[in-house]
Amino acid sequence: MSIMQNSPSINHYHTLFLNSFPQLQKQQTALSCCRRRLSLMVRAQQAPISPNWSSSQDRPGRRSVLAAGVIASLVSLINQNSASFAAETKKGFLAVSDNKDGYSFLYPFGWQEVVIEGKDKVFKDVIEPLESVSVNLIPTSKQNIRDFGPPQQVAETLIKKVLAPPNQKTKLVEATEHDVDGKIYYTFEFIAQAPNYTRHALSAICIGNGKFYTLTTGANERRWEKMKDKLRSVIDSFKIIDV
């Protein structure tokens, strides 16, 4: 029943993309580091002061200056990873930042990471398996998602030939275009109906770093009203990072 059971292998997934878009060629996060560094700095700050220090070095004023320096260093470190840090602070979500493949996004707290062949990253709810988010990436020589056509045309092709198994009835609800930090994203909403369940889904696609990125999230139709705001937050959080 799970949508994951219908996930294509990585070779099949590549073939689907190539057949759908002939233009395509064959081809935790920094915050955890911040926490470790903060822990080390806090322990260093709490360490006993050496009796060899002069009384002038042990003045409260000097300790305040040292503490301020620690805080300034931490703020600087966090600012270097501001996108990842800000993403994770959104209530009810955790952040993923893949600095190797160049993307980041949020997923709802409580979802678990699973390994699915053919997908770069997958998180899902273990109780409601249709509630998931996955990322796929395919090499491409194109520089802009517009090179594949307008949003509706590209969305319909992806849904019918890649994002839903051929035995499912699909319906595109809407497709839109957004410019975020100079990169063009297509986002679209669709419904895929299988014999024993219906999945309501959202996808975001973009080109960057020589790759065609696809992020898809969704839920069982019966839970769509409850989950749609969370799933839209996932889609809205998807960003391509230059690497």
- Encode pLDDT of 26-43 as tens digits: 433 333 443 444 344 434
Contacts of residue 100, Cβ cutoff 8 Å, sequence gap at least 6: 243
pLDDT at 90: 84
- Tokens standing for 218? 């969704």
CB contact at 8 A, 194 and 168: yes
pLDDT at 67: 47
Tell me, what amino acid is at 179? D
CA separation for the pair 34, 82 (Å, rounded): 11
Backbone phi, psi, residue 168, to 5°: -100, 145
Average pLDDT, the chain: 78
pLDDT at 17: 58
Task: Give mean pLDDT, residues 38-58.
Answer: 42
CA separation for the pair 143, 149 (Å, rounded): 13
Residue spans of the domains in the chain: they are 3-27+90-240, 31-80
Which ranges of the chain does DSSP label H, i.e. alpha helix? 10-20, 30-46, 60-80, 82-88, 151-158, 224-237
Q: Would you say residue 156 has pLDDT above 80?
A: yes
pTM, two decimal places: 0.68
- In this structure, which topology does domain 3-27+90-240 adopt according to CATH? Protein Transport Mog1p; Chain A (3.40.1000)
Q: pLDDT tens for residues 79-128? A: 444 444 444 458 999 999 999 999 999 999 999 999 999 899 999 999 99
